[in-house]
Each structure stands twice: as C-alpha cells, then as structure tokens.
C-alpha cells in the first residue's frame, strides 16, 4: 500500500530514521485535505452531519467551548465504528477522529506527534502568521484511552460521569495527560516565545463493550 501511494504521488519521502527506515508524508496541503475529507466521509456519511461538525469546530475555535464538540463525537462519530473496530480502538484512533474534525488549514498548521521537550505531543494546532492578530489560540492536545478491561466496571451506561471520573485508571489517565501537556507546552514556549497563545486540552475516552458508546472527557487548562 505504501509503494502504491508513493508511486501515485500521494506520499513523498521526508527523511529516514536512525536505522534507515524511510519516513513518508503527504507532499502538500491538497493531498492532506484529500485524506482528511475521505476520513470525514467515513466518520460522517451524511453531509448534514459534516456541516454540523464544522459549525461545532468553529464554535470551539472561537469560544473554546469543548463540550458540544465532544457530545457530537459521542453521539454521531463513535456509532459509526463496529464492534470489530472497537477491538483495535486506542489513543491513535481517538486522535485520528479529532485530527480529522479539527483540521483547518486556513488559520492553523496542524502537527501530529511533533517532537517537543524530548517527547512527542499527540496533536498541536499552531496559528499561521497571518492569523496571529485574531482572537484565536494555539491548541495543544493529549489523548488517553482507557479500555474496559482496565477500568473493570459493569453496567457502564448506568454509571454517572462522576462515578466514572472517580475510577483510578481514569484519574491516572488525566494526571498523565496533564503532566505531558506541561512538558510539551514548555517546549512550545521555548520555541515560539511571547507570540505563543496556548490553550491545552487533556482528552480521555473510556473504552467500549458491545453497543455501549463511551464517554469522552475534555479538561481545559
């Protein structure tokens, strides 16, 4: 598949690892947008739902209200996945959902796994130079996924948010995410200085079982 995408111009060589494995990436914004749009068509088959997601993303960018977007993902995006999909659900899949929805190349340069402070942040949206005089903010995300095999809670759909948040694995996920956000934000601050206008988000999703749809929690710092 990689060779196919490379020879048809959908991927280009961007470098190599210390042990000489090739690193590949989409060659330009046009190709990146094609990928994003294809993922969105899978996640949100209905055009109305894609329009609604765009409205909620703009609302989030402008007013920093994360809850409506999270609720939309829980109600509209997660049901798209089958039970077989959930067998491989992890932080990467969670990040892919948010990356596809938040992609906005007009105001932001989007970076997945950027190297910061000797670590790799999950997702970073940095304002483009011509958007820095707006009321928008730079955005940093850290994602955590807690599987049901770890949390070990029965009748998940009957538990309140407070009960689920109190579980040790969920609290630990938030703590780990917050610690990483502090480290990565320092790396961004050292790199961009006073021009950085940063908001940080820790996002924790609880795993699924059968037809159960997991809650997602976002914490703004």
- Position 18 in a domain: no
- Position 198 in a domain: yes
Characterize 21-41 residue by residue with b for buried, 16 or more Cβ atoms within 10 angstroms of its Cβ, and e for exposed.
eeeeebeeeebeeeebeebbe
- Position 1 in a domain: no
- Bigger pLDDT: 150 or 126? 126
- Position 29 in a domain: no
Q: What is the mean pLDDT of residues 86-107?
A: 83
- Position 5 in a domain: no
- Position 109 in a domain: yes
- Position 185 in a domain: yes
Could you identify the residue written with the tokens 């009748």? 155
Number of domains comprising the chain? 1
What order of strands is seen across the sheet that includes strand 216-220? 108-112, 123-127, 138-146, 198-206, 216-220
Q: What is the mean pLDDT of residues 110-129?
A: 88
Global confidence as pTM: 0.76
* Domain span at 203: 44-220
- Bigger pLDDT: 130 or 156? 130
- Position 9 in a domain: no
- The encoded tokens of residue 153 equal 């809670």
pLDDT tens-digit map of 52-62: 888 999 999 99
């Amino acid at each position: 598949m990689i060779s196919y995408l490379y020879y048809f111009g959908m991927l280009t060589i961007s470098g190599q690892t210390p042990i000489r494995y090739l690193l590949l990436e989409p060659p330009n914004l046009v190709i990146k947008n094609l990928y994003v749009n294809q993922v969105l068509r899978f996640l949100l088959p209905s055009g109305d739902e894609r329009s609604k997601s765009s409205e909620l993303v703009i609302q989030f960018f402008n007013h920093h209200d994360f809850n409506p977007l999270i609720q939309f993902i829980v109600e509209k995006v997660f049901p798209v996945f089958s039970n077989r999909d959930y067998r491989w659900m992890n932080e990467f899949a969670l990040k892919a959902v948010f990356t596809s929805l938040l992609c906005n190349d007009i105001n932001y340069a989007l970076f997945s796994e950027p190297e910061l402070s000797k670590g790799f942040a999950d997702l970073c949206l940095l304002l483009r130079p011509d958007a820095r005089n707006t009321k928008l903010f730079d955005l940093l995300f850290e994602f955590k996924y807690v599987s049901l095999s770890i949390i070990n809670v029965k009748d998940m759909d009957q538990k309140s948010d407070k009960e689920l948040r109190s579980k040790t694995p969920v609290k630990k996920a938030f703590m780990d995410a917050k610690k990483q956000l502090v480290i990565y934000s320092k790396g961004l601050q050292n790199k961009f200085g006073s021009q950085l206008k940063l908001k940080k988000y820790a996002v924790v999703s609880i795993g699924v079982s059968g037809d159960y749809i997991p809650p997602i929690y976002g914490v703004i710092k």
